[in-house]
Amino acid sequence: MKNHYFLFILLFVFSISFSQETKELENEKLPVYLGFRTGANTSNLSYSDLNYKIGGYFGLFINFKASQLYRLQLEMGYSSQGGTSTSKNPNSLYLDYFTFSAVNKFYLKNSGFHFLVYPSIELDIDASTFGDDKKNGVTDIDLALGAGFGYAFNNNFIIETRFKHGLIDTDIQLFNNNDTDMYNIVFQLGVSYKFKIKD
């Protein structure tokens, strides 16, 4: 687990330092974009007795074009996560997170196709509930690492798919029978649109 925390911190440092370095190396004006993103989540907890839950996400971002091949995108938003009941467990879990992410996007040359990796800080904003609104004791904060790929059309409209894995045990023993740590697992598919705010 310590290795996961180290990788999380390393990605945040890389996000800032790489962006600054490429700007200094390229003697040209590089634009800044503002945008919004939305889509669907499929989520669960690792090692739980739950089925995957369908939810959604939305948020705002600012995108820095640090070079022709690299962009740093700072995001904040909302994500609906959790899991649904099964024959083994009659309770469903509903999690609502406010998220902050630093997304590193690596573009193929002369293409809208890109890969992405990112660290994320996520705050449980609703004292999340299960079943008949009983408090579930979910940890208030989660750290996560994510990766994915996407395609940008005309440099403004983007479609992406992502996978995100939490690093902090959600600390809920109701949803498994073997006292195993359980982490947030989220698959996302969605779209975003951005517009230039600075040349």
What is residue 67's DSSP assignment? S
- How high is the pLDDT of residue 60? 98
With a pLDDT cut of 90, the percent of the chain lying above it is: 51
Structure tokens at 70: 């690299």
- The tally of domains found in the chain comes to 1
Please tell me the pTM assigned to this model: 0.82
Q: Give the burial class of 112: count Cβ atoms within 10 A of its Cβ; 0-12 exposed, 13-18 middle, 19 or more buried.
A: middle
Counting beta carbons within 10 angstroms of the beta carbon of residue 98, is it exposed (0 to 12), middle (13 to 18) or buried (19 or more)? Answer: middle
List beta partners, residue 25: none
The boundaries of the domain holding residue 121 are 2-198
Q: State the CATH number of the domain containing residue 34.
A: 2.40.160.20
pLDDT > 90? residue 199: no
